[in-house]
Amino acid sequence: MEAHRIRVLEPPEGIPATNMPVLVPLLDRNTATTGTMTIATGLLVVLGAVLAISGGHGIAVPTALLVFMTPSSLYLGYSALAGSSPMRKLTHKPFRLVSGLDGALVAGSRVSVPLDGRWLVVRFPVPLRTQLAAQRRLWVLGRFVVLPGVVVPRRGAFRDKPVKGSVPFAAEPASPGRILAAQRRLLSAYYFVSVVMLLVMSAFGFWATADHPRRDGVVVKGAWFFGYGCAVGALGLAIAAVVLLRKLPEPRWTELAVVSGPASVNFFGMVTVKGRTVLPDGREVTVQAGGSDPSLAANIAATGRLWVLGVPAAGKAAKAGVPGHAVFGPVRFGR
């Protein structure tokens, strides 16, 4: 039985990508979500322009709408057109396994892989790049790439030449602790970027409070709460970002067997899975996974295994992942 055990979620070889758990619902939901948000942010851009032209609303509110919503609408529109929707059209084809990565090159975050006489160039964040350097395996579908254990595809581009300044992408062993540390540093960096954005939004909120001509209007009260809310959120994220930068010892993993149904994708695009497991103390409890990393829940459903950092306890949340893979997220145990 051990020889036939599924150790990590990977695309099915030789059969259509639609058979990969969660992938198609996730792509469909991402396309619907980005499309809806593109329309919503576009309407807010129009609202900002109308308020600026009509006057009587101050400068801060229309400026904030135009400054924040214009790039957001453009980015979301690009994501909808170049991301999930194009890959969804390829899912009737099988993934192709590329092993060894002979001749692969790297320049910063961009890895150039020789493929069929051309170069497939993909941008990988540090955790995925560390995993790839250690495992030397990836799966290709058109110009999209996934790594073992990771359900979210990365979009690449085919080029006639590798990225300028590239050097050989050498094999480099990586412990689970090293990949986990890289994952925590990346999450911390995202938090710090969010802190800056929240502080800017907070400043706009306070500016709108002072700038709006109707001092007793609902806009002023809403802007005041918005400004303070963003400031408090920035403080909380800053503390969390600093905590994630703490150096941890090599993690101790607790492996648990989980009986669950298939992972599902909810309205917000989060991949979740619910099941039951037996804790090391012999207590049978419910377990639920789902959060910032959709790959965690997908791996639990596909493998029937849950890897928890430290010793899990009933009624508490814990951090979990897949050792040696860039998968990391929260789980919660019932009582």
In one-letter notation, the amino acid at residue 211 is: D
In one-letter notation, the amino acid at residue 60 is: A
pLDDT at residue 234, as a whole number: 95
Residue 4: pLDDT above 80? no
Residue 1: pLDDT above 60? no
Place of tokens 């929260």: 330
Task: Identify the three-state secondary structure at position 64.
Answer: helix
Model pTM score: 0.87
pLDDT tens, position by position, 275-330? 999 999 899 999 999 877 889 999 999 899 999 998 999 989 999 999 989 998 89
pLDDT at residue 248, as a whole number: 81
pLDDT at residue 166, as a whole number: 94
Q: pLDDT confidence of 5, banded at 50, 70, 90?
A: low
pLDDT tens, position by position, 33-73? 888 999 999 999 999 999 888 877 788 888 888 988 999 99
Residues written for the chain: 335
pLDDT at residue 94, as a whole number: 95
Mean pLDDT of 206-223: 79
Mean pLDDT of 161-165: 94
pLDDT tens, position by position, 105-136? 999 999 999 998 999 999 999 999 999 999 99
Residue 241: pLDDT above 90? yes
Residue 237: pLDDT above 90? yes
pLDDT at residue 220, as a whole number: 79
pLDDT tens, position by position, 131-152? 999 999 999 999 999 999 999 8
Mean pLDDT of 235-255: 91
- List, in order, residues 6 or more apart from 250 with CB less than 8 Å away: 175, 176, 177
Average pLDDT, the chain: 89
Sheet architecture: strand order including 154-159: 96-99, 137-141, 144-146, 154-159, 118-123, 110-115, 105-107, 167-168
DSSP assignment letter at 271? E
Residue 159: pLDDT above 90? yes
- List, in order, residues 6 or more apart from 175 with CB less than 8 Å away: 250, 324
